[in-house]
Structure 1
Amino acid sequence: MRTDLISEPGDPARSNEDFAALALPASGQGGALVVLDGVTPPQGDDGCLHSVPWFCSRLGGALTELSVSRRDLTLTEILSHAILRTADSHAATCDLSHPRTPQATVVLARWSASGVEYLVLSDSALLAGTTDGTVIALLDDRLARVPRGSLATEAIADATVRNKEGGFFTAAADPSVAARAVTGELPRTAVRTLTALTDGATRWTEKFRRGDWTDLLALVRGEGAAALVERVRALEAGDREERAYLGRSKTHDDATVVHVEL
């Protein structure tokens, strides 16, 4: 099994709000990957004493541990348990009902000898490279379907459509949001690779249009996860002034790629 992981902050002066983990049991009979993209809150009160990286490290840690230790649970149940565990860890000190309480997008995948389970919540992505050479993009596209005028910025700042019916959903403090995730299972024999990416890395395809998902996966497999992030950084720098591709988005975003050759 070959693995490749990179997680790079958009601004070296700021903490990385992404989280990435791989769980590969010594038995070699399966594994799991977790990728989170913490939602940067607008300036002002968010009701919480803790940072987004603090939240992501705890939620991501719980997801990683439960994915391995609780094979009796579905990924939806694991996300629900992990959200509840994380909420309990700071409910006594923070207002978890605040719409801007720390939250994150989620990609979770778990594989065994028989199948590959997946869960995607919000706009991070999971690509499954199949044994016949095709690429299956496993996406939650609800944010993309929200009218742009409904968002205060493209940084997901408007709480009127976040975790609301008709809007989009992220993992925050309400465990019931797990039921909103895109989930499914693929036959293990059909899957050759899994690649999870936060939207700072998917910019290569989704914003800069340098290739489709098949091209992106080929780049990661051929040159490595770091090469993808390097290319995104160069494209961001080139669009710093013109904003032809980035629009109102931040110039550099945290970028994470986790790639597994099964």
Structure 2
Amino acid sequence: MYVSVATEPGGSAPNEDWVAGTPSLALVLDGLSTAGLDTGCRHGVPWYVAQLGGHLTAALAEYERPLTDGLADALERVARLHPECDLKNPGTPSATVAILRERPDFFDHLVLADSPVVLEGAGGITVLTDLRVDEVCQDLRAETEQFQTGTPEHRASVAKLVAAQREIRNTPDGYWVAGAAPEAAFHALTGTVAADDVRAAAVMSDGVSRLVTEYRMATWENVLDRLREGGPTSVIRRVREVEATDPHGRRWPRYKAGDDAAVAFCQRT
């Protein structure tokens, strides 16, 4: 398959998204916000997603290997890179994961948390995502959405929400993301579809998917059409145009005015 990619930070802070494409693999990682809280790690989220992305790409070069096994192996290898850090800290750097892999006659997919894989076929659009994070801390999320983005009250509320999420992250009572423990890989949502059922696909962080899911300023069909016509950068540009009309989060309450964005667009060759 032909894969084109783009990523862009949401503001002045370093980009915590990561994207890669090979002739058989599309991969997006979305580093989780630390909200200024202690992580126990001296390296930071951008370092973490870069290391995980590289190791995961290498681990999945063998196309018969299950995606969950490759992810577990990559998580273990990255943990070994910084044993001096407190990897048991509930805020240890972590990320969502979205993968699409082509192998003879099939496409495999994996999603861990809310970065989706979107498949376009003769029967329409299929969206593969993991929204378990939306089921937790709903009261604190509603509290955060009361405040104007960027205000001291909003920042304090986001920090309170993130702190609560951390306590149930990667536990049976919470939700799962890629962190220090390989076990998280086996809680990902996975599947396989026949290659003939896929004409094109997009793998993205929620900084891109929110154009459809939260802002409702496009349909998935619109997004796929824009990817075909202008490539990944054109979709990210559209997200920024929409966000610029609501810089304080009044119409669309959110954690930050602009989120990091990453997308890989896959076309059959």
> In structure 1, what residue type is equivalent to 2:40?
G
Choose the corresponding residue for 2:235, options 228, 231, 235.
Answer: 228
Structure-1 residue corresponding to 2:171: 164
Q: Percent identity?
A: 34
Which consecutive residues of structure 2, in runs of 5 or more, have no partner in the other structure? 142-156
Structure-1 residue corresponding to 2:152: none
* Rounded Cα–Cα distance in structure 1 between residues aligned with 2:110 and 2:162: 20
Structure-1 residue corresponding to 2:145: none
SS at match of 1:153: helix
Equivalent runs, 1:163-242 vs 2, <5 Å: 163-241=170-248
SS at match of 2:168: coil
* Rounded Cα–Cα distance in structure 1 between residues aligned with 2:171 and 2:219: 30
Is structure 2 residue 113 aligned with structure 1 residue 122?
A: yes
Task: Kindly provide the CA deviation profile for residues 129-165 of structure 1, in whole angstroms up to 9, marking residues without a partner as x.
Answer: 11x1511101112122335215563985531232222
Structure-2 residue corresponding to 1:148: 138
For normalisation by structure 2, the TM-score amounts to 0.88
For normalisation by structure 1, the TM-score amounts to 0.90
* Rounded Cα–Cα distance in structure 1 between residues aligned with 2:140 and 2:44: 26
* Rounded Cα–Cα distance in structure 2 between residues aligned with 1:193 and 1:242: 33
Task: Give, in angstroms, the shift of residue 258 of structure 1.
Answer: 0.4
Structure-1 residue corresponding to 2:151: none
Q: Relative CO higher for 1 or 2, CA cutoff 8 Å, sep ≥ 6?
A: 2
Choose the corresponding residue for 1:76, options 41, 55, 68.
Answer: 68
* Rounded Cα–Cα distance in structure 2 between residues aligned with 1:41 and 1:241: 21
Is structure 2 residue 58 aligned with structure 1 residue 65?
A: yes
More helix by share: 2
* Rounded Cα–Cα distance in structure 1 between residues aligned with 2:19 and 2:249: 32
* Rounded Cα–Cα distance in structure 2 between residues aligned with 1:61 and 1:129: 27
Is structure 2 residue 97 aligned with structure 1 residue 97?
A: no
> In structure 1, what residue type is equivalent to 2:158?
T
Structure-1 residue corresponding to 2:9: 9
Task: Give, in angstroms, the shift of residue 189 of structure 1.
Answer: 1.4
Which consecutive residues of structure 1, in runs of 5 or more, have no partner in the other structure? 25-30
Count of aligned pairs: 251
Q: 1:250 to 1:80 in 2, by over 3 A?
A: same
* Rounded Cα–Cα distance in structure 2 between residues aligned with 1:45 and 1:156: 11
* Rounded Cα–Cα distance in structure 2 between residues aligned with 1:214 and 1:201: 14
Task: Kindly provide the CA deviation profile for residues 43-78 of structure 1, in whole angstroms up to 9, marking residues without a partner as x.
Answer: 13210111111110110001111111x334200100
> In structure 1, what residue type is equivalent to 2:49?
C
Task: Give, in angstroms, the shift of residue 249 of structure 1.
Answer: 1.9
Stretches of 4+ aligned residues off by more than 6 angstroms: none
CA contact (8 A) 2:4 2:264 kept: yes
Q: Which stretch of the first structure deviates more once superposed, 42-51 or 98-107?
A: 42-51
CA contact (8 A) 1:195 1:260 kept: yes
Q: Which stretch of the first structure deviates more once superposed, 188-197 or 147-156?
A: 147-156
* Rounded Cα–Cα distance in structure 2 between residues aligned with 1:215 and 1:143: 26
SS at match of 2:169: coil
Choose the corresponding residue for 1:107, options 95, 98, 101.
Answer: 98
